[in-house]
Amino acid sequence: MKIVLVSMVLGLGVGVVWGYSAPVAAQSVPSYYPQRALRLVVPLAPGGGNDTIARLVAQKITPLLGQQVIVDNHAGAGGLIAAEMVARAASDGYTLLLANVAVMTIIPNAQKKVSYDPLNDFEPICWIASAPLLVVVHPSLPVRSVRQLIDLARARPGLINYASNGVGSSTHLATEMFSAMASIKLSHVPYKGLSLAMTDLMGGQVPLMFSSAMAMLPHVKQGKLRAIAMTGAKRVALLAEIPTVAESGLKGYESGSWYGIVAPAQTPGPIIERLNREIVKVVQSPEVQDRLNREAVNPVGSSAAVFKTYIKTEYNRMSTLIRQVNIVLD
């Protein structure tokens, strides 16, 4: 059965590959760059994880570059408009994209007509951070671990409903990946955004959701929801007591949102190297590490080469999952 997406939310990332950039020789940094302000295009409206990451990096990298980095929000079509705009921009290092899983892996695999190629129309600069989801259940669901959830789902095939932010969202795909890897059947109940999903989740009408840790944490602390796992490759500092899904018995499972920066294809290598070096400095700084940890986000700060490999791996993995679930974005 074909699923048609009406509205996109943030995407999902899997398969973490950690790495840091090697020092760049001073003579490789072009003396002419940058000579004016840079524009960092964010594919979503102000607010939310993408905007927070972009503004944090822009603020901290501005003094390192000696030129202002201006955050430019371009919402629309789940990020498609912003990605297409940056793909067509001049390859001079002055227009950059805050890349995420939606624009780099989901939309290109599921949208019928996309005018950019995520693997060939961009030069990866740096993978900044990953943001795993939190697996929560309503207290009425008698499970306290991933193992118990899997066992209950196998005993009640198709009878456990789960909420998502919408068809094709990170919460949807993370849960479908979980179902496939665990060989269980859960029933999807898509909502038009997180707030509507939260209402029914809190009321117990839908007892399960994979969602933003920061959105769910207050309700977990109040005992209104029960957290059983994180979806990332490793635990997050803010919730160190909560195990990952992989640690809980489903080896190899990993999902969540991720953030990075890319430039238009054919941007000169020395410019990519300069930007990578400064962004890695920002991500590795204690202040930014602390800020990201407090947001339940794992800092990365990779080399350009590692980020390029990661995007390709995620693109291929997402392609397989989207075909299995049969999602078509429209």
Residue whose pair of structure tokens reads 């809190």 in the numeric block: 202
117: buried, middle or exposed (CB in 10 Å: 19+, 13-18, 0-12)?
exposed
| DSSP 8-state code for residue 241 | T
| DSSP 8-state code for residue 40 | E
Q: How far is CA 27 from the centre of its chain?
A: 35
| DSSP 8-state code for residue 244 | B
Give dist(CA 190, CA 327) in Å, integer.
Answer: 13
Q: What is the pTM of this model?
A: 0.87
Hey, what are 154's tokens?
Answer: 């196998």
Parallel, antiparallel or unpaired: strands 38-42 and 69-73: parallel
Counting other chains too, the contacts that 265-269 makes at CB distance below 8 Å and 24 or more residues apart are 265/87, 265/91, 265/120, 265/121, 265/122, 265/123, 266/91, 266/123, 267/91, 267/92, 267/93, 267/123, 268/30, 268/91, 268/93
pLDDT of residue 47: 87
Low-confidence ranges of the chain (pLDDT < 70): 1-30
Yes or no: say if 105 and 14 are a contact pair by the CB < 8 Å rule: no
Give dist(CA 157, CA 149) in Å, integer.
Answer: 12
Yes or no: say if 5 and 36 are a contact pair by the CB < 8 Å rule: no
Three-state secondary-structure class, residue 194: helix
Sorted by where each starts, the structural domains of the chain and their CATH numbers stand as 15-131+257-329 (3.40.190.150), 133-239 (3.40.190.10)
pLDDT of residue 325: 86
pLDDT of residue 188: 96
Helix axis angle, 269-284 to 48-65, nearest 10°: 110
Cα–Cα distance list, 111 to 6, 73, 172, 258 (Å)? 11, 22, 17, 20
| DSSP 8-state code for residue 102 | I
Give dist(CA 254, CA 219) in Å, integer.
Answer: 24
pLDDT of residue 48: 86
Parallel, antiparallel or unpaired: strands 3-5 and 208-212: unpaired
pLDDT of residue 5: 42
φ, ψ dihedrals at 179, nearest 5°: -60, -45
Give dist(CA 124, CA 39) in Å, integer.
Answer: 16
Give the tens place of pLDDT for each residue, 84-134: 999 999 999 999 999 999 999 989 998 888 999 999 999 999 999 999 999
Q: How far is CA 162 from the centre of its chain?
A: 20
What amino acid occupies position 99?
A
pLDDT of residue 84: 96
- Element at 145 (helix H, strand E): none
Yes or no: say if 287 and 155 are a contact pair by the CB < 8 Å rule: no
